[in-house]
Amino acid sequence: MRLGLVIDLDVCVGCHACAIACKEWNASGTIGPLSDYQPYGAEPSGVWFNRIRHFEMDVYPNNKTVNFPMSCMHCEDADCVTVCPTGASYKRPEDGIVLIDQDKCMGCNYCSWACPYGARELDRSSGTMKKCTLCVDRIYDQELPVEERQPACVLTCPAHARMFGDFDDPDSAVSRTVRERSGYPLMPELNYNPTNQYLPSRRMPVIPVDTKPKGGLKAGIKQFANKLVRR
């Protein structure tokens, strides 16, 4: 079993709901509070497992903003685990989730330097490194209904831009979606083999603005809607 996320860049609206839900859930989870530094000061900061980057695609005529969520990729060949001098960073063989043992972590930052995705953050309050756990305490909670045994970020996404599942199962929803939508891992050339996959942004149809649609405005709106459906 290899658990991970699929993130649809064509659907993500950059609302940061996943980041907020992640911090809320994990603040009371297995790794302890995610600290905030001067939350009401001039330079507020804090520990976040999910961060959303924003990019502008300047390729006419398909200019658009791409919202790019990033968190731990739960790599198959995770150098963050290899470089850890205390064995605090480890990869679970049963599901592929990469975790940090807070009792062993000494906050040396080696794992953070080894991670090319910026997924690990040093909690200055505890002096330990913290990162996405795929809500491991939630996805295996037998007290929850089956449909709720998913990471908090997946459950809260209002645009349904995130999926969770087993990539080792070729018939799982995440595996099928990646095949059908040409999903890809981030920076595969590094050979970390990240589990999380991204679905590419699709091109918007070009709607002519200098000609009147046949049949008037209502017909033009219908034509536009049909083009969107055919995407």
> CATH number for the domain including 60?
3.30.70.20
Burial of 125 from C-beta contacts in 10 A (0-12 / 13-18 / 19+): middle
> Which residue type does 168 have?
D
Whether 212 and 122 share a structural domain: no
Whether 181 and 69 share a structural domain: yes
> Are 46 and 185 contacting, i.e. CB atoms less than 8 angstroms apart?
no
Question: Which tens digits make up the pLDDT trace of 118-161?
Answer: 999 999 889 999 999 999 999 999 999 999 999 999 999 999 99
* Higher per-residue confidence, 161 vs 60: 161
Query: How is residue 184 annotated by DSSP?
Result: B
* Higher per-residue confidence, 202 vs 172: 172
Q: What is the mean pLDDT of the chain?
A: 88
Whether 163 and 213 share a structural domain: no
Lowest mean pLDDT among 18-32, 111-125, 162-176, 207-221: 207-221
Whether 230 and 136 share a structural domain: no
Whether 127 and 195 share a structural domain: yes
Residue with tokens 């000494």: 106
Q: What is the pLDDT of residue 27?
A: 77
Highest mean pLDDT: which range of 32-36, 125-129, 167-171: 167-171
157-169 burial, b for 16+ CB within 10 Å, e for fewer? Answer: beeebbbbbbbee
Whether 167 and 212 share a structural domain: no
Q: How many residues does the chain have?
A: 231
Whether 48 and 95 share a structural domain: yes
Q: Give dist(CA 82, CA 89) in Å, integer.
A: 8
Whether 189 and 216 share a structural domain: no
Whether 147 and 223 share a structural domain: no
Whether 55 and 161 share a structural domain: yes
Q: Is the peptide bond before 158 cis (omega within 30 degrees of 0)?
A: no
Count of structural domains within the chain: 2
Q: Give dist(CA 163, CA 31) in Å, integer.
A: 23
Q: Give dist(CA 6, CA 174) in Å, integer.
A: 6
- Give residue 76's domain range: 3-199
Whether 100 and 19 share a structural domain: yes
pTM passes above 0.85:
no
Joined together, the tokens standing for residue 87 give 């064995």
For 8-65, the DSSP string reads ETTT-----HHHHHHHHHHTTSTT----EESTTSSS-EE--S-EEEEEEE--TT--EE
Whether 110 and 30 share a structural domain: yes
Q: Give dist(CA 197, CA 132) in Å, integer.
A: 15
Mean pLDDT of all residues in 171-198: 96
- Cα of first residue to Cα of last residue in the chain, in angstroms, is 32
Question: Which tens digits make up the pLDDT trace of 95-119?
Answer: 999 999 999 999 999 999 999 999 9
